[in-house]
Amino acid sequence: MTTPTLAILDLLSSVGPNEELFGLRICQLADLGSGTVYPILDRLERAGWIVGEWEAEQPSGRPKRRAYRLTGDGATAYQRALQVRAEKRRKWLPETLARLAGAR
């Protein structure tokens, strides 16, 4: 799982269960460009990790926005992905530190 994907999932998991984030707001909060964010949102939606819904009404002066929220399956998969990442780090971090110490 990439760092940008984790950043987006971090944001979506930080809002309440009935709250949504709009795509542009995700770009701003994650400090990522739309060319990075929207393909990730599309992949996560196709995987069933998130749900995106268009606004019901379009306020005058701006286009409709798409709001995203994490699904129950997405929250579970995200937590598992964090566990796997932490387990991998626990394995390689001591080895890497030992190699670095030996290189001195």
- Our measurement of the distance from residue 42's CA atom to the centroid of its chain's CA atoms, rounded to an integer in Å, reads 11
pLDDT digits (tens, 9 = 90+) for 70-80: 999 999 999 99
- Would you state the structure tokens that stand for residue 31, as one six-digit string? 């400090």
Average pLDDT over residues 41-52: 96
Residue range 3-102 forms a domain whose CATH class is: mainly alpha
Rounded to whole angstroms, the maximal C-alpha distance in the chain is 64
Sorted by sequence, the CB contacts under 8 Å of residue 23 that are 6+ apart come out as 34, 37, 38, 41, 52, 65, 66, 68
The residue ranking higher by pLDDT, 96 or 34, is 34
Residue 104 above 70 pLDDT?
Answer: no
Residue 18 above 90 pLDDT?
Answer: no
Average pLDDT over residues 64-91: 90
